Structure 1
Amino acid sequence: MAGTRPIPRPLWKAAALSGMASYLDAGLIVSISVNLAVYRDSYDMGVWMAGAISAIVTGCIAVGSLVGGRLADLFGRRRVYNWDIFCFALGALVITLAPDDITLLVGVLVAGLAAGADLPTSLAVVSDAAPSWARGRLVAFTQVMWMLGITVAIFLGFVLSTTGMTGARFITGQLAVAAIVTWALRSRLKLPDEPPETETGAAPEAISLKGVWTRAALLPMTATFVFYVTWGLGANTFGQFGTYLLVTVSDASQSLATGINLAFIPIGVLLTFAFVRVADSPWRDRLFHVAAVVQILAFVIASLTAGALVGMLVFFVLYQLSNPFAGEANYKVWSQLTLPADTRATTQGLTYALSRGVFAVAAFFTPALADHSPSVLLWTITACMTAAALAGVFIIRVLVPRSARDVPDGADLRVPSTSPAGLPDKEH
């Protein structure tokens, strides 16, 4: 079975270094969320500045995804791959050392744009380096890094909750250190620089912007966008407001609400590792059907109980069990499998950017909608999850088989010879 074929260690290294984009993306969002109350008190921050910083994180990641993916396809993915992470390190350092809220805002702008730019670029880089029989597992591994980013930020926030700005600086400082180390390692990593440049240095015709608007690109781009944006509305709502909803809707205490979220993180990490194991096998898409149904059932239970604590506890159990097999990891793998290789960074950057923009707008209205009617909020999310399941089935039944047929016979069916750096030599 293709999914059991061993992957050379250099490719796992490339996947881990690319996965740092997801680690830093998740770590930045959660760190700002964890530290926001500390920033507000230490900088005597007004409510509008606090809201602006929260919104700017998501907005900058959206803009960065749109611009960064396009730049990667125009000027070389490896080049942008290295500059993205370097700029993130600078932004994280500014956040960590910020003496006031204006400086903090500048750091958030730089780090958010860089994190967004690195997401589609890093996925395209690891996909370029991977043979087809290993691409699913290597791309899916970036989702493990995303979970680790959340885990580390929440754990440090919990441990350092009584240390004020010292703890807040440590939480963002570890992101800066991680980015600097990743930049140093990426700079020495030998990867194919796709797409290739012409003799004049100009971008080849294959990656001109008009290539994005062809049927070959539009159909998978639209399908993966529909899946990600509808699934993400539910996931983002509970990612940003899970504790808030447990406290305000379910009448849980702050400590209980925080404890519930912490308790389920190890489950999510372990099951994401399990997804990586099956990401190149037929079980990836078989498990999606089951997980998507369980995920919808979880939201139906939460909706029927109008967010009551018992219903929410059942929801969290079912959601955490199903989410790794019917969520963002699927979107990442499907995007790399179905989007045209020459515009992969641009097209996935578009879907990332548009989705994150929708999430930012939805987040603005979520507290008000939860206060007005928890049932309306929960049933709306249930409908979104149902739409995501239908989009996923279309991708599995139509687009994945079509992309498999488009792969030339014999392509990537063996372990490539390796360069001195241990990475596959590019075949000409």
Structure 2
Amino acid sequence: MSRFQPAAQAHPEQPIPKHLWKVAALSGMASYLDAALIVSIAVNLAIYRDSYDMGVWMAGAISAIVTGCIAVGSLVGGRLADLFGRRRVYNLDILCYAVGAIVITLAPNDIVLFVGVLVAGLAAGADLPTSLAVVSDAAPPEGRARLVSFTQVMWVLGIVVVIFLGYLLSDTGLTGARFITGHLVVAALVTWQLRARLELPDEPAEEEVAQEAVPRGIELKNICNRAALLPMVATFVYYVTWGIGANTFGQFGTYLLVTVSGASQSLATGINLAFLPIALVLTFVFVRLADTPWRDRLFYVFTVVQVLAFCIASLTAGALAGMLVFFVLYQISNPFAGEASYKVWSQLTLPPDTRGTTQGLTYALSRGVFAGVAFVTPALMDYSASVLLWSITICMAASGVAGVYVIHVLIRRSPDTATAAASLGVART
């Protein structure tokens, strides 16, 4: 078998053992808790402001610190996982997240709330690259893409659950806000207990590390090796250009519908909630196809659909009718040309022994860019919704170009993983 074959075509699709799906689900909780933390702060922010007599600067600081801490946590946590062992960091960061969520839930004032968000954000960021590396290490080559992409299902589920809880508890004030963040405490502690029972290797299999063109060891200089640097840069370009659009609509979609499209608050919230199940169902479809040639074939189709969605939003300058069409097309295309693709491509192209460090770096840099864009988005939207929307459309088009490069160059050049050891000591529990 040629080592230059695309990974999706190199291996026949095989059933994945149930215990590996358990590893994927427990690792996917990093994505669930990441998304749920961000959305819960957004949903509860007005309640916190009123309950704690919070000033506008503190409200802004708490909103910004979530993204900023996740960025820093990704950078530091991924590196620590490669240095001290992924299993150790894998178990510790989820426990730190639970501590932060407890502080948020019980916070008597805005200062304590800020501290809780700081701790939980750093822990959530640290868990993202670590958990993806753990899944990739544990997965057999023929099932790696499906197991890694399953973490994206958990990410979407985190958004759906928090928005649904926020909708149900919208009239309960601080009690409802504490219930929402309290469920994150329970989820994190249960995950910590279940993760502690898994026997996971701290490092990739020697056979995988020994492949030609893959750097050895975990020294920082290894990420400057062409085998690590090229896929890291390419996946970063894809993720950051795609994520500018996704993050903007994740944080300001409702705000745009109200201030630009003229929708009521309830209608805007309902539109977001109504279309999220589409993304959840189609993300399951992506998982089913992730280890087949259809994964990348559908990317070509849906990246065009995604750009078309943003073009319609831009051409209609955010008018309500155009935004309804946008949301339909966006939620249909996003699962096949979005973050799930980034996660899979990263694990297929980045060197095994530096996956935590390199993906942590791309996460951190991207989240930093998203935080900066979010800071100027309300002002830019007030100046010209068309300028904002066309700028995002250009970014989405650029992400499509970067994605095509990853598929046509990096996936085809990535070392054949068929010879990697499939048994990495994951215990059935």
Contact 1:252/1:309 (<8 A) preserved: yes
Contact 1:3/1:279 (<8 A) preserved: no
Report the counterpart of residue 364 of structure 1 in structure 2. 375
Give the direction of change, closer, same or farther, for the CA distance of 1:57–1:5 in structure 2 (3 Å limit).
Answer: same
* CA deviation after TM superposition for structure 1 residue 409, in Å: 5.7
* CA deviation after TM superposition for structure 1 residue 327, in Å: 0.2
* CA deviation after TM superposition for structure 1 residue 410, in Å: 3.7
Contact 1:3/1:134 (<8 A) preserved: no
Report the counterpart of residue 401 of structure 1 in structure 2. 412
Please state if 1:302 is matched with 2:308: no
Report the counterpart of residue 428 of structure 2 in structure 1. 422
Please state if 1:272 is matched with 2:272: no
Q: Distance between the aligned counterparts of 2:12 and 2:278, measured in 1?
A: 22
**220, 227, 247: which one aligns with 1:236:** 247
**What TM-score do you get using the length of structure 2 for normalisation?**
0.94
Report the counterpart of residue 130 of structure 1 in structure 2. 139
* CA deviation after TM superposition for structure 1 residue 419, in Å: 5.7
Per chain length, whose mean CA-contact separation is higher, i.e. which structure has more relative contact order (CA < 8 Å, sep 6+)? 2
Q: Distance between the aligned counterparts of 1:318 and 1:421, measured in 2?
A: 42
**69, 76, 90: which one aligns with 1:67:** 76
* CA deviation after TM superposition for structure 1 residue 86, in Å: 0.4
Contact 1:87/1:114 (<8 A) preserved: yes
Matches within 5 A, 1:48-87: 48-87=57-96
Matches within 5 A, 1:337-348: 337-348=348-359
Q: Distance between the aligned counterparts of 1:411 and 1:382, measured in 2?
A: 40
Letter matched to residue 271 of structure 1? L
SS at match of 1:284: helix
**143, 149, 153: which one aligns with 2:162:** 153
Matches within 5 A, 1:318-329: 318-329=329-340
Q: Distance between the aligned counterparts of 1:271 and 1:420, measured in 2?
A: 29
* CA deviation after TM superposition for structure 1 residue 32, in Å: 0.4
Letter matched to residue 384 of structure 1? C
* CA deviation after TM superposition for structure 1 residue 5, in Å: 1.5
Q: Distance between the aligned counterparts of 2:404 and 2:205, measured in 1?
A: 34
* CA deviation after TM superposition for structure 1 residue 4, in Å: 3.8
Contact 1:18/1:142 (<8 A) preserved: yes
Deviations 1:280-332 (A, max 9, x none): 10000000000000000000111111111111111111111101000000000
Letter matched to residue 158 of structure 1? Y
Q: Distance between the aligned counterparts of 1:26 and 1:122, measured in 2?
A: 15
Give the direction of change, closer, same or farther, for the CA distance of 1:115–1:234 in structure 2 (3 Å limit).
Answer: same
* CA deviation after TM superposition for structure 1 residue 421, in Å: 2.5
Report the counterpart of residue 393 of structure 2 in structure 1. 382
Please state if 1:100 is matched with 2:100: no
* CA deviation after TM superposition for structure 1 residue 108, in Å: 0.3
Q: Distance between the aligned counterparts of 1:51 and 1:6, measured in 2?
A: 47
Contact 1:77/1:195 (<8 A) preserved: no
**119, 123, 131: which one aligns with 1:110:** 119
**What TM-score do you get using the length of structure 1 for normalisation?**
0.94
Letter matched to residue 333 of structure 1? V
Matches within 5 A, 1:169-208: 169-194=178-203, 206-208=217-219
- Following TM superposition, where does structure 1 have runs of at least 4 consecutive aligned residues deviating by more than 4 angstroms? 416-420
Please state if 1:335 is matched with 2:346: yes
**217, 227, 232: which one aligns with 1:221:** 232
Report the counterpart of residue 211 of structure 2 in structure 1. none
Contact 1:231/1:388 (<8 A) preserved: yes
Report the counterpart of residue 200 of structure 1 in structure 2. none
* CA deviation after TM superposition for structure 1 residue 353, in Å: 0.2
* CA deviation after TM superposition for structure 1 residue 195, in Å: 5.5
Please state if 1:29 is matched with 2:35: no
Letter matched to residue 181 of structure 2? T
